[in-house]
Structure 1
Amino acid sequence: MRVGIAGAGMIVPTFLDAAALVKEMEIYAVFARREEVREEFCSKYQIPVGYASYEELLADSKVDVVYVALPNNLHFSFAKEALLAGKHVILEKPFTVTYEEAEKIAAIAREKKLYLFEAITNQYNPNYDKMKELLPKLGDIKLAALNFSQYSSRYDNFKKGIVSPSFDPKNAGGALMDLNIYNIHFVAGLFGKPFKVRYCPNMERGVDTSGILVMEYPDFQAVCIAAKDCGAPLSVSIQGNKGFFHSDYASSILAEFTFQENKCEPERYHLADNPERLFYELETFAKYYEEKDWDAFDKRLDHSLMVMEIVDQARRMENQGL
């Protein structure tokens, strides 16, 4: 497959390094408005074509798949344009800003039989797959607690009034959409849709710089903490009456985890041995693409829609100051 990239932000080099390890992927084109940025990417990563306009990239019949890596508020419009142009789409997290937007692009993809795939690391991590396999051994789940807090390198500038997209409410920035989105995917991927969502954000100049999201299930609570204005040890803990999972890594990485049943010795799993953190999601996309596995893509799309429902509820509480 030939891939065209829309965007030139910090995630793009990480994507390119991972894509270089996926033999089915050929990075064919990049769209960036600034000429020096296009030239740098094309030269450094040997990308054949650089486009100054998105329309040119979409008009190129050699582009099969578009990777959208732009600020959050642009995900919907750029994915929609790509789908309407007949391109498959890999869409960076968060999927969209609202559930309504997510529904619209999902409907277009399904109508046109195009693949629409959210690039979210933990859902394709071998350690996460192992957690799913072992989950019944925990017995009745009692608590889940995830903390993804890291002091942002952009926070000091934000306090001075220099606002980057990741802190700009107009770009749907903030801790929920940047970091807690990983926690939401993690919990929802294990337990499905909660019956209730509560979000308590710390707000500065209209954006949540940190916050606590509670996902309520019939028999337990899942607490998802994310912060860009302070730091803490990263962690994932899932506790049941027969055992627990614990990891000292963020929910986005999950480089390893411990599984321990009551009164048994701990078992440690380190199955995600590829150093490129986007590798597993791109490897999965390529596998589905080569096998034309529409059902697999469709299930992943349902998961992304479920997550956006949860995000919608949280953002409504955020905007109402609850």
Structure 2
Amino acid sequence: MIRFGVVGTNWITESFIEAARTITDFQLVAVYSRTEEKAKEFAEKHDVKTTFTSLEEMAQSKDIDAVYIASPNSLHASQACLFMNNGKHVLCEKPLASNSKEGQFMIDTAKRNNVLLMEALKTTLTPNFQVIKENLHKIGKIRRYTASYCQYSSRYDAYKAGTVLNAFDPKFSNGSLMDIGIYCIYPLVVLFGEPKEVKASGYKLASGVDGEGSLLLTYDDMDAVIMHSKISNSYLPSEIQGEDGTIIIDKVNPPEHIEIKYRDGSKEVVSIQQDSNSMVYEVAEFIKLLKANQLESSINSYHNSLITLKILDEARKQVRVIFPADQQVNL
């Protein structure tokens, strides 16, 4: 069994636990929260006996093999490195870090300690993303990737009423690009690699984070168009356009219905049924790697995570979104 601890007691951790408990060899053994009351409440709900209010004590525990980190983005790097320096494997929520400098430091720490570090970007690990990869050849020379993920945040109402919650606070390295845009960017990187050029625009909120924006990414013989937002909704599908046909993807997070429309007018549905809790696949990948003594995912790889962070860095620079984490010299 792989004995897991969880850092964070929010809804995403709830979803993670629900998914993970369907995977053989997963065992939840510890919960961390800043307050003892919250830690005990969450642990009792999930039938866990061990709680921590000190990350240092949790990292030093001999009863934990791996941790799932679902804390605010700005804490990912320091918390992950603490655990890795204590020999723990880390599954870290997306984005892996606040910026590429932090991301590289995390990767170096993982390598130095011979532990597994993987970004929990679930889309690229789902069966239907694999379907997309396997069917790319059918649409001929690929010329354009378009991805739209625009989802009005329930926390935006509080923001407009004068309360800046974590989702719109630069102190936590948040905003539309980091929370929503990454779901469009990471699959692009996995499929097509690093772009030659990044152009970004967006609307910067008074709090200092971006509320929405767009990216145009240039490759040798194709381009990519990305739209993201936390202050409006979009109902557009995403597409990969080729000279012989187009793959239409209902949504990027996660893809569920995938159809190819060929230039001759014919259509082909290629999507398959997958688990309703798509986090199952990231947990399965993580545990599979550990059981095989592999310390890096070939899909959510260090290379792909770093390229994604570099794109996010450049896009934020152009939109003039700066996080306190960008100013830190040392972790």
TM-score by length of 2: 0.93
- In 1: Cα distance, 2:106 partner to 2:296 partner: 17
* Corresponding residue number in structure 2 for 1:89: 90
- In 1: Cα distance, 2:270 partner to 2:136 partner: 14
- In 1: Cα distance, 2:320 partner to 2:265 partner: 46
* Corresponding residue number in structure 2 for 1:168: 169
- In 2: Cα distance, 1:122 partner to 1:320 partner: 26
* Corresponding residue number in structure 2 for 1:269: 270
Post-superposition offset of 1:188: 0.9
SS in 2 for 1:89: strand
* 1:134 and 2:135 are equivalent in the alignment: yes
- In 2: Cα distance, 1:34 partner to 1:299 partner: 32
Moved more, 139-148 or 22-31: 139-148
Post-superposition offset of 1:294: 3.4
SS in 2 for 1:94: coil
Could you tell me whether the CA contact under 8 Å between 1:12 and 1:69 is conserved in 2? yes
Post-superposition offset of 1:260: 2.8
Structure 1 residues 299 and 122: alpha-carbon distance in aligned structure 2, compared to 1, 3 A threshold: closer
The 5 A counterparts of 1:194-213 are 194-205=195-206, 206-213=208-215
Post-superposition offset of 1:320: 7.0
Post-superposition offset of 1:234: 4.3
- In 2: Cα distance, 1:113 partner to 1:140 partner: 40
* Corresponding residue number in structure 2 for 1:220: 222
Post-superposition offset of 1:299: 6.8
* Corresponding residue number in structure 1 for 2:327: none
- In 2: Cα distance, 1:290 partner to 1:164 partner: 39
Could you tell me whether the CA contact under 8 Å between 1:38 and 1:50 is conserved in 2? yes
- In 1: Cα distance, 2:106 partner to 2:158 partner: 35
Could you tell me whether the CA contact under 8 Å between 1:157 and 1:163 is conserved in 2? yes
* Corresponding residue number in structure 2 for 1:238: 240
Q: Percent identity, aligned pairs only?
A: 32
Per-residue Cα deviation, 1:286-314 (whole angstroms, up to 9, x for no partner): 11111112364697122111211111111
TM-score by length of 1: 0.95
SS in 2 for 1:238: strand
* Structure 1 segments of 4+ aligned residues over 4 angstroms from their partners: none
* Corresponding residue number in structure 1 for 2:329: none
Segments of structure 2 that go 5 or more residues without pairing to the other structure are 323-331
Per-residue Cα deviation, 1:24-45 (whole angstroms, up to 9, x for no partner): 1101101002223212221111
Could you tell me whether the CA contact under 8 Å between 2:239 and 2:248 is conserved in 1? yes
Per-residue Cα deviation, 1:165-221 (whole angstroms, up to 9, x for no partner): 111111111100000001000111111100111110111111100000111111222
* Corresponding residue number in structure 1 for 2:326: none
The 5 A counterparts of 1:57-96 are 57-96=58-97
Per-residue Cα deviation, 1:258-284 (whole angstroms, up to 9, x for no partner): 123322532213324211120111111
Q: Which amino acid aligns with 2:262?
A: E
- In 1: Cα distance, 2:236 partner to 2:16 partner: 23
Q: Which amino acid aligns with 2:6?
A: I
Moved more, 10-19 or 265-274: 265-274
Could you tell me whether the CA contact under 8 Å between 2:88 and 2:115 is conserved in 1? yes
Could you tell me whether the CA contact under 8 Å between 1:288 and 1:297 is conserved in 2? no
SS in 2 for 1:193: coil
* Corresponding residue number in structure 2 for 1:260: 261
Structure 1 residues 219 and 172: alpha-carbon distance in aligned structure 2, compared to 1, 3 A threshold: same
The 5 A counterparts of 1:4-83 are 4-83=5-84
Could you tell me whether the CA contact under 8 Å between 1:89 and 1:116 is conserved in 2? yes
Could you tell me whether the CA contact under 8 Å between 2:116 and 2:294 is conserved in 1? no
Per-residue Cα deviation, 1:58-92 (whole angstroms, up to 9, x for no partner): 11111110111100111111011111111110010
- In 2: Cα distance, 1:208 partner to 1:227 partner: 8
Post-superposition offset of 1:50: 0.9
Moved more, 286-295 or 82-91: 286-295
The RMSD of aligned alpha carbons is 1.6
Could you tell me whether the CA contact under 8 Å between 1:149 and 1:234 is conserved in 2? no
SS in 2 for 1:96: coil
Could you tell me whether the CA contact under 8 Å between 2:209 and 2:321 is conserved in 1? no
- In 1: Cα distance, 2:279 partner to 2:23 partner: 11
Q: Which amino acid aligns with 2:269?
A: R
- In 2: Cα distance, 1:299 partner to 1:10 partner: 23
Q: Which amino acid aligns with 1:93?
A: K
Q: Which amino acid aligns with 1:203?
A: K
